[in-house]
Amino acid sequence: MKKIVISTGGGDAPGLNAVIYAVVHAASSRGWEVYGSRQGYMGLLDTDELVRLTIKDVAEITSTGGTILGSTNKGNPFAMPVENIAGDIQIRDVSDRVMKNFLRMGFFCHIAVGGDGSLEIAHKFAVEKGMNVIGVPKTIDNDLEATQLSFGFDTAVSTATEALDKLHSTAKSHDRVMVVEVMGRDSGWIAMNSGISGGADVILIPEIPFDMDLVCQKINDNQLHEKHYAIVVVAEGARAKDHEVMTKGDGEIGRSEKILGGIGRWVAEEICQRTGKDTRSLVLGHLQRGGSPTTFDRLLALRFGATAVRLAEEENFDHMVALSGEDMIAVPLEQAIKCRKKVPIDGDKVLTAREIGICLGG
């Protein structure tokens, strides 16, 4: 009997449980056993954290947010934060231990569900340790170039759009400018999609460094047209011209990426000072990661999970499942993690935003 292990790494996203559900059902139909590794690779570091997954175990989880296996942003086995005898935290390479447990448990394939960071780790295991790996793309930022869409994105955009819809009424009641900071890191997909759909006056994205003079001009123009409030959507990775991207520091030990944030508050303060308008800022933050996945994300996640098992059966390892048009395809992991997908500044969404009167700051 073949045995596979599935892990969910990086930030959580609506649809993770649907992937697990599909993997368990597709594998069980082939007579395979499925195990889940808790908290990313922790189950492969300590086999007490491995959990057997049966069809009964995953019943009715497709509609729930989060992941029943848990996840982590600081679980890279090639650079794992480990506490020594003195209580100090050291960064150690424990990848050999992971591979040893993988082989000892008799797994023939690891299905790694994650974003670019998690998939880079999976690719490293495939190349350097010989692990049979299949990747499943997971990112609410929709920034993986190799797949047309990733699950979690649609839900995150829906959450942000709903928030913008509600902010219109309170902004209008008080003649305020509401600045909303959304996730996305170096890509502006969430800001662009929710901003257009949610009737924003201004959308600021990482792909277009913005000029505060143009932003304030748009808000003042609203006044001339008897609109005394405004909605401004800012991607967390957006930056003003001649400024750096704002961060909150390096974050926790074992986390490679800097934590972005603070641009929404800065934009709000600049608007208040330059226009005199009553201005408030709001960070949606992890609201965008939570909640039940939309119908689109559930279906996409189920398709990803089922396809991952098919790739495992075909022994098409060191590849990632990807959506291409209406089809599911296999993309080499090396290619999948090569670059991040950006909002094309001459694309239809940017053109649409400009033509319906939305200011992009540049």
Residues 201 and 227 reside in one and the same domain = yes
CATH number for the domain spanning 189: value is 3.40.50.460
Residues 51 and 39 reside in one and the same domain = yes
**For residues 205 and 349, is the Cβ–Cβ distance under 8 A?**
no
Known binding positions for Mg(2+): 116
Residues 111 and 238 reside in one and the same domain = no
C-alpha distances out from residue 71 to 8, 11, 112, 274, Å: 6, 7, 12, 43
CATH number for the domain spanning 306: value is 3.40.50.450
Residues 190 and 142 reside in one and the same domain = no
Known binding positions for ATP: 11, 74-75, 115-118
3-state secondary structure at position 256: coil
Q: What is the pLDDT of residue 85?
A: 74
Residues 228 and 114 reside in one and the same domain = no
- Nearest C-alpha neighbor of 195 from the set 184, 220, 275, 290: 184
Residue 176 lies in a domain: yes
Residue 73 lies in a domain: yes
Q: What is the pLDDT of residue 11?
A: 87
Residue 44 lies in a domain: yes
Q: What is the pLDDT of residue 255?
A: 59
Q: 230 is written with which tokens?
A: 């405004």
Residue 362 lies in a domain: no
Residue 350 lies in a domain: yes
Known binding positions: 11, 74-75, 115-118, 139-141, 176, 183-185, 236, 280, 286-289
Q: What is the pLDDT of residue 250?
A: 64
Q: 208 is written with which tokens?
A: 């277009």
What's the domain range around 266?
153-290+344-355
Active site residue 141: yes
Residues 136 and 279 reside in one and the same domain = no
Residues 279 and 169 reside in one and the same domain = yes
Residue 113 lies in a domain: yes
Residues 141 and 167 reside in one and the same domain = no
Residues 222 and 303 reside in one and the same domain = no
| Number of domains within the chain | 2
**Active site residue: 46, 96, 141, 278, which one?**
141
Residues 142 and 162 reside in one and the same domain = no
> How wide is the angle at C-alpha 115 spanned by C-alphas 312 and 286, nearest 5°?
135
Residue 335 lies in a domain: no
Q: For the chain, list residues with pLDDT below 50.
A: none
Q: What is the pLDDT of residues 295-322, one digit of tens each?
A: 999 999 999 999 999 999 999 999 999 9
Please, how many CA atoms are within 13 Å of residue 210, restricted to the half-sphere of its CB? 29
**For residues 311 and 134, is the Cβ–Cβ distance under 8 A?**
yes
Q: What is the pLDDT of residue 74?
A: 80
Q: What is the pLDDT of residue 84?
A: 77
3-state secondary structure at position 282: strand
Q: What is the pLDDT of residues 114-157, one digit of tens each?
A: 998 999 999 999 999 999 999 999 999 999 999 999 999 999 99
Residues 351 and 205 reside in one and the same domain = yes
Q: What is the pLDDT of residue 60?
A: 94
Residue 361 lies in a domain: no
Residues 54 and 99 reside in one and the same domain = yes
